Amino acid sequence: MTIDVRTEIPARTDGDMPKPTAALAPLASPSESVAFVDLAVVIPAFNEENGIQQGIEELRRTLSRLSMSYEIVVVNDGSTDRTREKAEEAGVRVINQRENRGYGAALKKGIASTNSSYVAIIDADGTYPAAAIPDMLRLAESAEMVVGDRGAAMKNVPALRKPAKMMLNGLANYLAGRKINDLNSGLRVMRRKSLESFVPLLPDGFSFTTTITLCMVCSGLDVVYTPIAYGVRVGESKIRAKHFFAFILLVLRAVTLFNPLRVFLPMGAFFVALGLIKFAYDIYKWNLSESAVLAILGGLGAWALGLIADMISRIHLRP
């Protein structure tokens, strides 16, 4: 990052944005007509009229101090309030989606419309400090992704959601084989090349951040966490209790893709152990049953399937 001129790309509406061809993936490289910048900041926004302008101004003040070019892009994800108007008044480029397609879909559309070395994402609800981005950029010089760590306490998370988050994080830590400080933080700085490697796996919903975390961690890429001050949310949270089960399923799917033995080895061990215990009991009773044999065979089958899945993962998915 050696550019000395502090530059922000002029605001542009979604009508001026070059459209990727149908053959390209959702995060395919943008058209050459899109001006190159060092950093593209994408803000997904759905009904955030109360905090969007304040967030943009804070972000602009922070980035203007950097000796690098940047662009701020707001993706209005089908808002029914004045989010789009407020963002346009702030003087940034706004991409408008006529209907709400989801947090991940908004991020993918915004990222695909930019051309940069680094990509940063930040929520529009005022919870994440834009002032943390310069330090995150410095860390990103030697890492594929830098994540704003909200801390273990998560003081602003409702008490009812804390047990679910602890369970989800514990499962992710075990399956990924390393400690993940913050699984779904919405403040990140990523290298574009590393991000685009996982395009086909990125979902349209809230699990975008969880997925990209697991993809990079399970692939052995360098993911760095840096502490941030998590603020009070402006407006109402869009996450509901029903999303918890979707997150659990996502963790299992992502880890099965990149490190399937973390799933199939303990599964097979459980059935084999269950079968051996039943077999010992049957021997004691002198009455060998089919259930003991089936349990042992089921465990061996799970191990075999895990080895096949691991071979496929190594050939097709791991860098």
Quote the pTM value.
0.74
Quick one: fold of 7-258? Spore Coat Polysaccharide Biosynthesis Protein SpsA; Chain A (3.90.550)
pLDDT tens-digit profile of 130-152?
999 999 999 999 999 999 998 85
- DSSP string over the chain: ----S-EEPPP-BGGGSPPPPTTS-TTPPPPTTSPPEEEEEEEEESS-TTTHHHHHHHHHHHHTTSSSEEEEEEEEES-SSSHHHHHHHTTSEEEEESS---HHHHHHHHHHT--EEEEEE--SSS-S-GGGHHHHHHHHTT-SEEEEE--SS-TTS-GGGHHHHHHHHHHHHHHHTS--S-TT-S-EEEEHHHHHTTGGG--SSTTHHHHHHHHHHHTT--EEEEE----PPSS-----TTHHHHHHHHHHHHHHHH-THHHHHHHHHHHHHHHHHHHHHHHHHT---HHHHHHHHHHHHHHHHHHHHHHHHHHHT--
- Res 56 pLDDT > 80: yes
Q: In the chain, where are the structural domains located?
A: 7-258, 261-316
How much of the chain exceeds pLDDT 70, in percent?
A: 79
Question: pLDDT confidence of 295, banded at 50, 70, 90?
Answer: very high
